[in-house]
Amino acid sequence: MKYYRDTRRGIFSVWVVLVAFIVCSCASDPVIGYRDDIEPVLQQKCLECHLPPEGEGYASTGLSLRSYDALMDGTMFGMVIIPGDSRRSVLNKLVEHRAGALKGMPPGSVKALTDEEIELFRLWVDQGAVFN
């Protein structure tokens, strides 16, 4: 009889772990890719100002958005992305309009990022800001 109870407990434990694994895997964030998700937003809403040599944003900060490598190089003031940490990344602070005295990006309302685009940037940086 003891063997039967131990077996039932073991099966129940495996079942609980399996259900927990399935629930956790279903709730995970989608993988955000630079090429498919981030680059199109940068090209549409940011590149005009951050294109060397004459873009206003490039001239004032040195931030080129011409390529992934240029973005990761940052500005003349330092890095704008801390891979894995969107709360401290300057890029996220700017696009989320939480950069204090610095104006949010992009300036004005014509090319303002949507909430979905802002979330893409947050997820991408939190996922490591990799080139994928």
Break the chain into its structural domains and give their ranges.
Answer: 1-30, 34-126
pLDDT in tens, the chain (132 residues): 555 556 666 565 545 444 455 544 556 889 999 999 999 999 999 999 999 999 999 999 999 999 999 999 999 999 999 999 999 999 999 999 888 777 778 877 667 899 999 999 999 999 999 998
CB count in 10 Å sphere of residue 120: 21
Residue 102 DSSP class = S
**Which helix (H) or strand (E) segment is 9 a member of?**
helix 2-26
Tally of CA atoms within 13 A in the half-sphere of 34 that contains its CB:
15
pTM of the model: 0.76
